Structures are given as C-alpha cells and as structure tokens.
Structure 1
Amino acid sequence: MGKIKKKGTSGQARNYITRTQAVRKLQISLPDFRRLCIFKGIYPREPRNNKKASKTSSQATTFYYTKDIQYLLHEPLLAKFREQKALSKKIARSLGRNEVNDAVRLEKYGTPKITLDHIIRERYPTFVDAIRDLDDALSLLFLFANLPSTSTVPSKVIARCQRLCHEFEHYLITSNSLRKSFLSIKGIYYQATIQGQDVMWLVPYRFVQKATQDVDYRIMGTFVDFYSTLLGFVNFRLYTSIGLVYPPKFNAESDERGAELGAFTLEGRVGDGLENGDSLKTIANGHSQTTNSVEVQRQLEQVVQLEESEQDQENDNQAGKEENDDALDKFETAAPEADTLAQPDLDSNQTASLFASFTFYISREAPRHPIEFLLRAFGCRRIGWDPVLGEGAYTNDEIDGRITHQVVDRPSLPESTSLGESGEQGQNVDNNSRTLRPGMRVPGRTYIQPQWVWDCINAGRLLRPDLYAPGATLPPHLSPWVQAAPGQYDPRASLAEQELDGEAQQALEESRNDGKEDDPSSSDVESSEEGSVDGRMDIAGSDNEEDEVDEVPAEEDFAGFEDEEAGGVGSGNEHEDERSQHQKELEAEAAGLPFSSTPVSGKPSTGTIGTEAKKRALKKQKEEEELERRKMMMSRKKRKLFEKMQYSNSKRDAEAEKLRSKRRRLERAS
C-alpha cells in the first residue's frame, strides 16, 4: 500500500500562497509588502483551480507564487522596513511623553535611507533590458513632472522628475535620437531610437491639473521612486556613451525663471582633438562657452566653425542627397495586392539637419517647451521666443531680421498689416526685446502654425508652409505609426488610387442623376414646350412631342433626332451644348475617367450608361455565383469561419466606401 499524502503539501496548494500568508511569513505590514512587490517586480498570479490552491476555501483571495515569496525572504529592504517600523514606534513614544525635540531629532537623523541600486541591477542585467522598459518609466515621470505640488505629491518629487526628464531630453537633442511625434487627445507621443531600441512615451499637455482623491498616490509614488532610480542609471550610461559628463551642470536660478532646457549646461571631454585630455568642452543650448585655457578655447572655436561650415555645406547640397549612392533605398511592392513594405527610417545625419538652416521665433500663445524640444532635436540652434515664456532664448526681439520662421497660433494676419520701413512696433520691454503690435507682420518671414513642425518631422522633409499659414484649415494630422492595410481608407493617398473598378464612374452617374432636376441643359424638352406656347416654334411639330420624348432613351433615335433638328432648334442651343460638354469633360477628368467615356453631345448618353451598369451587375453576379459554388465545397466549420471573415471584410469595405464618397463630395464642393 502506498504512502498516503497529506492534504495541501503538493500540487497547486504548495505552488501558490495567499497574500495574508505571505505578509505573515515576511513579518511586514501590508503597505510595505506592496512596496516590496513593486520594487522586485512580483505580481499576483491566477491559479487554474482556486479551490485547490486555497485549500478548499471558497473565499476570493489574491495568490502569489510560493517561490517568489521565498525569494523575498533574503531581500535587504526587509531590514530597512523593520528599522522604519521601530523608528515610528520611538517617535510615537516621544510624542506621548511630550518630548517634541527628541521626536524631531529622531525623524531627521534616524530615518534609514533606502536605496534601490541593487534592485535595478537585479532586474536589468543588461543595458538593453533597461532601455526596453523605459516606456512606462518615461510616461509616469513626465506625468509627475507636470503635476502641481500637493500634500500627496511633494515638490521635491516633482523637481526630481523634471530634472531627470530634462536630462533625458538633452541626450535626445545631442544624439539626434528622436524620430517621430504625434499630437493626440491624451497628450504628445514621442518615439526615439536608442541603441537600436524604439522607445515611445506620452507627455501630457500643460493644462491646469487638479489632483483627484480617487487615485492612490502612495502606490504611484512607489513606482516613481523605482522609475526615477532607473532613469538616473540610464541617463548616466547614455551620457557617458557619447562622451558627456553626468550629471550636467544645473542652474537653479535660471530654472526658476523658466529656462527649463536652458538651465542645463552639458560638458563633454574632447581629449581626442586636444593635447590636454582633461579639458572640457562646454555646450549650452547649441552655443559654446569659454573655458579656463585660452589655447583650448581657440581650438574649440576652430572645431565649432568647421562643424558649422560642414553643416551649411550639407544644407546647400540637400537636394542632391537623394541621388547619392548612400541614400536610403525605397522598397516597392511588385503587385498592387501585395503587403506594404516597411520603409527604412531617416539616418541621424538627415534628421539632424532638418531645421538647421532656420531661425525660429515662438509666439507667446504657442506651446514653447515641446516646440523647442522638437526643433533642437532636429538641428535648429537658434530659437527665440517672447520674454513672458521664460529666459534662455536665442533672441527676444520679434523684429529681428535673422528670424526666418515664426510659430503662431492666431487668426489669419492680412498682408496689408505688414511692418513697413518705419518699423512700427509695440512698447519695448528692454533693449533686447521688441514686440509687434497685434495684427502686424514682418515682411519676408514665414508664418506657420505649430502643426507644421510635427508634420515635417513625421514626413522626414520640409512641407509647404502655405498649407499651415495662420488661420488656414490645417491638413489632417495622422498618427505616423498607423499603416493603412489593404482595403482600408488611407487619407494620405489620393482618391484615384483607392477607388475600385467602376466606382468613380458610378459616383459620376449618381451625381448626374441628382443634378438633372437642377441642370437647365437637361430639360430641353420642357423648354421646347414653353417655346410652343409662346408661339416661337412651329405648332405642327407639337403633335409628335410625346413620341419623341418616349424615343429619347434609345441611343440611335436620340442621335437621329439631333440630326433632324440640327438646322432648327438645335442650332439655337449650339453654344449651350458646348458649355455642357465642357462641363462633362471636367467632371470626367475629376473622376479619373478618360474623355472618350463621355458622350460627344452635350447630353449624357443613357444607352452607354445603362450598358456599363449592366456589365458591372453581370460581373458582380458571376462573382457571387462562383463564391457560392466554392462555399458548397467547404466543410461546415470552415464555411462559418469564412462567412465571419466575409462579414468583417464587407463591413470594412462599406466604411471605406463611405469615407471615399464623403471625400469625393468635399473635393467637388471645393
């Protein structure tokens, strides 16, 4: 006889442990247990059989792996949590004895310091693993960087998040790692390529945030502590990989005055090109600053001038880059039904020089920080803005002649209000800042809306600025990560590329039928009747009017009628027929049809239209019959699956056709 197993010692009852049992085993409180699980990356698990895992208990509970809880027994943070618990008891005892000074001293000097460095090294053994997990970290840190300071969210946490985020943005600007961005309802999406890994995060808009009470900020604060430590490690590794000193110099006074990115000064070692290997190259917002050695400064100026001359030469030869052998290849599909091939992204040289030759000025109503970040990340070194937006600008003078583009978000500015030679301007804030009066425009400057910056970055080239003029209806801002699937409506492609066979002609026929009642050229018979009443036509011909109207649908009789009346009534409407024929040719050209498909006469040939409609209906009927024959050869299971697929495809095609018809009406109306 085999040995009888004791209940609850094997299987799921041994592999899973409840949360209450885990807290008792670790001898910590429930909040500390949550913090520890977040730091270590341990999450609840769902067993296959809750009854067996809970040892015949029917109560709903949370389960963890037993091995995960045993792994937590050796965590050094448990000792820190116990020290904090002991300290809280001492502070409570001192307050109970009315020893306030002792309680303040214990809280100030006796609080144990918790570090998460060892946990970062455990969870991310390689640097690539840390980069892959940056999506959630950046989204949460940028969120806390824009929150207001409250009792649940201290100002120190917000300042730390802002500093880490600005350091990360400076790395993206220096390394030209930013690739795409998108304006959505939730916020601004960014995507960067860091050491071959695509990182995407979300930055909320800078509205007045109101902290709600239905959010557990203690749990979110735990994630902020972990992610801030992670981003600090990543920033250190990224800065050192490109030869920069970390952390960069931070000017707190400049940051309080709204400098943001301008409050940081990047320092990089340039020992390769100089004799003194310990010398530093100081970079602040794209402008070199002085160092201690005069010789070093002279060599640095030569290097900067050489880089600027090379960059200007690249900008002049930007048109010939596409013909270069090193240009990126474009993959084209062999058949129209084939899948769309993914095109390679732009290299760092092309993205670094997109806005390099321009000088931008950001108006006070435009969002300064995201525009400044995008412009600097794509090569622009000279960015000015209104003084009320903060310091750190290249220039605060709105009338500066070096400005080539101005980002505005106002109604359209008429050309008649351009700034003349007299130089009318508003009140000067100081000697370096001049502002225009409302409605004034500087001649020779390109005025654009903020969306132009995002669309140029996503397209990888400079778009037409007149489409983004102030007050103009902007083109659709589409997500750069959504690729149009075959059969779906693509707003980027033209209407002729997406229309099915005969769809344009059918839409043209429907529009003609709808406009027959309003078209004066389509009611010649009625005009002839009115002419007979006025006495301008022969009354003897009015007896056969009904027979002639009945014979109109026949193509041959209709042509013969025109031949017979060529010398009579038709000669009076000759110019009108030419105008109607020209109108039909324009409609056919807009629909993408050849001119030969339109009738020669001014009136539409109903016989030709009816023949083409019958051909399309016959072709559709044959396809449906062939489809039914194939479905009869399928099994029941496959036939049901095929019908579901067919239903979803028909629903998608109907939606695409609806969008195409809407776009067709808009194009005709315009």
Structure 2
Amino acid sequence: MGRIKKKGTSGAAKNYITRTRAVKKLQISLPDFRRLCIFKGIYPREPRNKRKVAKGSTSATTFYYTRDIQYLLHEPLLNKFREHKAVAKKIARALGRGETGDAARLEKTHIPKIKLDHIIKERYPTFVDALRDLDDALSMLFLFAELPSTPHVPAKTIALCQRLVHEFQHYVIVSHSLKKSFLSIKGIYYQATIQGQDILWLVPYRFVQRTGGDIDFRIMGTFVEFYTTLLGFVNFRLYTSLGLVYPPKFDAKSDEQGGELGAFKLEGKAISGEDTHMMNGDEQPVIASAEAQAEADKVAALTGPDDQEEGSAAAPAEEDENTDAIDTFEATAQDADVLPQPQASNSELGSLFTPFTFFLSRETPRAPLEFILKAFGCRRVGWDSTLGDGAFTTDESDPTITHQIVDRPALPTDSLPQVPDVPETENGGAAIPKAQWPRSTMPGRTYVQPQWVWDSINQGKLLRPDLYAPGAELPPHLSPWVKPKKGQYDPNLPLEAQEPEGEAEAFEDEEEESEDEAPATASKDEKDLSHLDREGSVEAGEGMDVGGSEDDSDEEDESEAADEDWDGIESEAESDISEGEAARRQHQRELEAEATGKTVESEAPTTRSKNAEIRKKVEKKRRAEQEEKERQKMMLSQKKRKLLDRIEHGTNKRDKEAEALRKKKRRIEKAKAAANAL
C-alpha cells in the first residue's frame, strides 16, 4: 500500500503562499513587506484554481509564488528593516520618558540608511533592460515634480524629482533623442529614442493639483524612492556616454527665480581635451566619449595612405552631388503596394529649428515649448521676464527674433486697456520700434500658435505658419502614433477623397427631407395640441365609452395602414420610372404643345433627380457585389464562413463609425458655409 499524501503539500498548493504566511515567514511588518516587494519587483499572483491552492476555501486571499518568498529570505534589506524597527522602539521609549535630546540623537545617528544600488543591478543586468523599464519611472517622477508640497509629499522629494527629470531633459536636448510629442487631455506625451529603445512618458499640465484623501502616498512614495535611484543610474550612464560631467552644475539662485532647465550648466570634454560649457544660446560642440574616440583612432590607423588618397580624390565628386534631399519611392501601378518612404535622419530632425530665434509670450506654456524647441536645434529661446530666469532675451522687440509664439487672438485697439506712454530709446538717431502683442507686431516676424511647434516636429518638417496664425482655426491635432487605415475616417483628408460613391448625394437628400419634414412635424404637433385642448373642455357626447368603438378604431387603423402601404407602393413606382418612360412623357407634352400652338421647354433634371439616379446606380452596383460575395461564400466551409462573417461584422462596424464622422464633418462644413454667406 502506497503512502497517503497529505492535502496541500504538493502541486498548486505548494507553488503558492498566502500573504499572511509570507509576512510571518519573513518576520517583518506588512508595510515593510509591501515596500520590499516593490523594490524587488515581486507582485501578487492569481492561481488558476483558488480552491486547490486555498485548501477548499473561497475567501478573498492574496497569493504569491513560494519561490519568490524564498528569494526574499536572503535579501540584505531585511536586516535594515529590523534595525530600523529596533531604533524606532528606542526613540519611542526616549520620547515616553521625555528625553527629547536622546531621541534626536538616536534619529540622527542610529537610523540605518537604505541603499537600493544592489537591487538596481539585480533587476537590470544590462543597460538596455533599464531603458526598457524607464517609461513608468519618468511618468511617475514628472508627476511628483509638479505636485505641491504636503505632509505626505515632502519638499525634499519634489526637489529631487525635479533635478533628475531636468537632467534627463538636458540629455535629450544634447543628443537630439526626442522624436514625437502629443497634446492630450491627460497631459503631454513625449517619445525619445535612446540607444535603439523607444521611451514614452507622460508629463502633466501645470495646473493646481488637488490631491484627494483616497490616494495611498506611502505606496507611491516607495515607487518614487526606487525610481529616483534608477533614473540616477541611467542619467549617469547617459551623460558619460556623451562625455559629459555628471552631475551637472546646479545654480540654486537661478532655480529659485524659475530658471528650471537654465539652472543647470553642462560641462564636458571635447575631442581636443578642453573643457566645454554649454548654456542657452551657446554653440554646442561635438562631444565624444573616450571609448568612441579610441574606436575612431583604431579605424584611422587601419586605413592606408592609398585609401586616404582615393577618398580625397572622390571627395570633390561626392560634394558636387546633392545628397541632402530624401528620395521618394513611387508605386509603379495604381493598385500596387504602398512603398515605405524613407524618414529624415536624426541630424536633419535635430536641426529643424536651428536657424530661428523664438520668443514665448506670457500666455504660452514655457516649460514644454522650451524643451521641445531646444531638443530640435533651437539655441535661442526668449520669453517674458515674468516667466522666469534663463531666457536668451526678455525684450519682445529684439530684432533677432524670427518667430513669436502667441496663444491669444489679435483684438481691436479700442477694446484694449490704455497703457502709459513709454519714451522710445534711440539708437544712432533712429527710434527702436516696440512690439507689444496684441497691440502691435514687428515687421518680418512670424506669429504662430503653440500647436505649430508640435505638428511640425511630428511631421518632420516646417508647416505653413499661416494655418497657425493667431486667432485662426487650427488643423486637427492627431496622435503621431495612430496611423489611419484604409476605410477609416481621416480628418486631414477632404471628404471627397475618402467618402464612397453616392454618399454625398444621399446626405443632401437626407438634409432636404429633414427640412421638408420640419413644417409637417410642426403642424402635426399643433393638431395634437388642439386635440389636447378639446379634451380639456369636454362637450356633450364626448369622453364617453360607446359600444363597438374599439372595433371601429381597429378598422380605422387597418385602413390607415393600407393607405400607408399603398402610398409607399406609389412612391416606389414613381421613383422607379425608367428613362424611356420619362422620354415618352416628354415627347407627349411636346406634341400637345405643338397642337395648341404653345412652346414647351424641356424639363431640366433637378438636383434631387440627379442624386436619385446616382444612388440608384450605386445601389445596383452594391447589390451586384453583395450577390457575388454570397455566391463565393457558398463555396466555403462552415468554419471559414463564420470567420468571414466575423470579419465582415467588424468591417461594417468600422464603416458605420467612419460614415457617422463624415456626416458630422459635412454638417459642420455646411454650417460654416452658411455663416460665411451671411
């Protein structure tokens, strides 16, 4: 006879462990257990069969993998947590005795400091692994960098998050790693490509944040503690890869005055070995790391003198050819596959705003605009002095400014408040013009709205500034990560280019029918109201039940239904008049007019008749295609037919959504045309 197995000692019950048992096994408190699991990346697991794991119990229980808990038994942080608990007991005892000095001394000297360096190395063996997990870290740190200081979120934590995210932004600016950005309801999305990894993070808008009481800041603070350590390691590796000194110099006075990015001063060593400082408006040098320079020296040593001569001889020929333009691939046939077009290089995108000098008006968001403009090559960004320190210029009338970003329309001069006259300064006898938007503009300067910056970087080219002029209706701002598919609605294309044949005519007929039905509906409502008025004043013989009235009403309903059916048949018969019948009737009218000596003009086809003919042809074509599809489906097996029905259901649903959006846009365009006509 075999040995009897005890229940819950093997299988799924052995692979999982409850949270209560895990806490007892590790001999720590529940908050410390949660904190340790966040640091180590261990999360609860949901077993397939809870009854087997919980030994028949169905109560709500949190489970973990047993091997994960076994892994935590050897974690050095366990000793730190226990030491912290012991010191906390001593501090509480000292405070109970009234020995505040001893309590302060214990807190200052005996509280153990927790370092997460070894956990970062364990969880991310390679640097690419850390970059792949950087999305959530950046989103969380940018969020805490915008939060106000509260007892749950100390100012020290907020300052640390701000410093780390600004250092990361400086790397993105210097390396031109930023690729796309999008303005959404949640905030501003950014995507950067660093060492082949696409990193996407979200930055909230700078509104007044009101934190509710249902937020567990202890859990979020644990994540922030881990993410700050992670981003510190990543920033150090990124800066050293470019030959920059980390951490960069920080000007606390400039930061207090709102300098933000301008409060950091990057330092690095160029290839020549001289120290290089980069600030707002300075030229950015070519920086290379020691490893990259060593590899370049090896390649140069391997190249022989003959190769160098051949390269020098071929250089003029290559310079004559213009290789700046990007080749475009065109399809050989109309129905051929769309060839993927080459994209602009990083150097071209990074120098998109290099030749320009921007000035940000007071109403524009300075922080995201400064970051994006500098990330795409602009080295001269100015703004009003009220927006903070670190601007290239605070003078709005600076003649070197080529573009000014404004976010309010131009108003009539009479509606603006009066300002005191300021004497204009003269330079060599000529008065310097003062530009104060929206009272006056500078000649030769381009005024655009902030969306122009985002749309230009997403499309990789400078868009027409007149479409983004102050007060102009802006084009749709679409997500750069969502590409329109065939059959879907595309706001950038005109309706004529994406609507199927006959849809515009059907829309016009629907609008005319709705206009015609409006007075009829009103008259019907009047009849109903008159009937209600008559019911209010009951005369003799009214409001009484008469025998056989129900039968009479039924007969009347049947007769009305028959009349409606007959009217429908007549309307269909009239609408289905063939072209030959219409020609015969026209010929009959001409003969009658000739007999009576009158002249008759041929009836010009109305718009409704034209639309009816077009819709009739489209419907006939659609019916033929549907019949052909049904014939083809008959040859398929039942399994493939069901799969095809599911595909067609999704396609029809997508087409209906696109049709509804096109109708909405057509109504908006019609309303705009009517408003412009007035």
Report the TM range for the smaller structure's normalisation. Answer: 0.7 to 0.9
Asked whether the 8 Å contact 1:458–1:480 carries over to 2, the reply is yes
Partner of 1:392: 390
Per-residue CA deviation, residues 498-538 of structure 1 (Å, 9 max, x unaligned), is 12234445556777889999xxxxxxxxxxxxxxxxxxxxx
Asked whether the 8 Å contact 1:267–1:283 carries over to 2, the reply is yes
1:217 shift after superposition? 0.3
| Partners of 1:516 and 1:102 in 2: CA distance | 90
Q: Percent identity?
A: 62
| Partners of 1:426 and 1:190 in 2: CA distance | 45
Does residue 660 (structure 1) correspond to residue 662 (structure 2)? The answer is: yes
Asked whether the 8 Å contact 1:425–1:437 carries over to 2, the reply is no
SS in 2 for 1:200: strand
Partner of 2:108: 108
1:667 shift after superposition? 4.2
Per-residue CA deviation, residues 447-502 of structure 1 (Å, 9 max, x unaligned), is 11111111111111111111111111111111111011211111122333312234
Partner of 1:537: none
Q: Equivalences for 1:431-446 in 2 at 5 Å? A: 436=436, 439-446=439-446
Q: Judge which range, 356-365 or 345-354, deviates more.
A: 345-354
1:621 pairs with 606, 620, 623, which one?
623
1:407 pairs with 405, 409, 421, which one?
405
| Partners of 1:223 and 1:15 in 2: CA distance | 27
Q: Which amino acid is the alignment partner of residue 620 of structure 1?
A: R
Partner of 2:369: 371
Asked whether the 8 Å contact 1:397–1:435 carries over to 2, the reply is no
Partner of 1:452: 452
Per-residue CA deviation, residues 405-424 of structure 1 (Å, 9 max, x unaligned), is 11111122569999xxxx97
Partner of 1:313: none
Give the TM-score normalised by structure 2: 0.76
Q: Judge which range, 246-255 or 323-332, deviates more.
A: 323-332
SS in 2 for 1:235: helix
Per-residue CA deviation, residues 426-463 of structure 1 (Å, 9 max, x unaligned), is 999xxx99772752222222111111111111111111
Asked whether the 8 Å contact 2:37–2:43 carries over to 1, the reply is yes
Go from structure 1 to structure 2 and tell me whether the alpha carbon gap of 1:267 and 1:558 turns closer, same or farther (over 3 Å shift): farther
Asked whether the 8 Å contact 2:249–2:265 carries over to 1, the reply is yes
Partner of 1:494: 494
Go from structure 1 to structure 2 and tell me whether the alpha carbon gap of 1:91 and 1:433 turns closer, same or farther (over 3 Å shift): farther
Per-residue CA deviation, residues 231-271 of structure 1 (Å, 9 max, x unaligned), is 1111111111111111000001100100000000001111x
Asked whether the 8 Å contact 1:448–1:465 carries over to 2, the reply is yes
Go from structure 1 to structure 2 and tell me whether the alpha carbon gap of 1:433 and 1:388 turns closer, same or farther (over 3 Å shift): farther
SS in 2 for 1:67: helix
Partner of 1:356: 354
SS in 2 for 1:212: coil
Does residue 647 (structure 1) correspond to residue 649 (structure 2)? The answer is: yes
Go from structure 1 to structure 2 and tell me whether the alpha carbon gap of 1:343 and 1:232 turns closer, same or farther (over 3 Å shift): farther
Q: Which amino acid is the alignment partner of residue 406 of structure 1?
A: Q
Asked whether the 8 Å contact 1:495–1:660 carries over to 2, the reply is yes
| Partners of 2:603 and 2:399 in 1: CA distance | 60
Partner of 1:234: 234
Partner of 1:17: 17
1:551 shift after superposition? 11
Report how many aligned residue pairs link the two structures.
Answer: 566
2:277 pairs with 272, 282, 286, which one?
282
Asked whether the 8 Å contact 2:411–2:438 carries over to 1, the reply is no
Q: Which amino acid is the alignment partner of residue 47 of structure 2?
A: P
Go from structure 1 to structure 2 and tell me whether the alpha carbon gap of 1:93 and 1:426 turns closer, same or farther (over 3 Å shift): farther
Asked whether the 8 Å contact 2:589–2:600 carries over to 1, the reply is no
Does residue 554 (structure 1) correspond to residue 582 (structure 2)? The answer is: yes
Asked whether the 8 Å contact 2:506–2:611 carries over to 1, the reply is no
Unmatched tracts of structure 2, length 5 or more: 286-318, 426-431, 518-577, 674-678
Unmatched tracts of structure 1, length 5 or more: 291-320, 518-549, 572-599
| Partners of 2:234 and 2:216 in 1: CA distance | 27
1:642 shift after superposition? 3.2
| Partners of 1:512 and 1:217 in 2: CA distance | 59
Give the TM-score normalised by structure 1: 0.77
Q: Which amino acid is the alignment partner of residue 616 of structure 1?
A: V
Per-residue CA deviation, residues 175-222 of structure 1 (Å, 9 max, x unaligned), is 000001000000000011101111100000000111211000000000
| Partners of 2:621 and 2:216 in 1: CA distance | 63
1:554 shift after superposition? 2.1
SS in 2 for 1:554: helix
Q: Which amino acid is the alignment partner of residue 45 of structure 2?
A: R
Asked whether the 8 Å contact 2:169–2:371 carries over to 1, the reply is yes
Asked whether the 8 Å contact 2:488–2:655 carries over to 1, the reply is yes
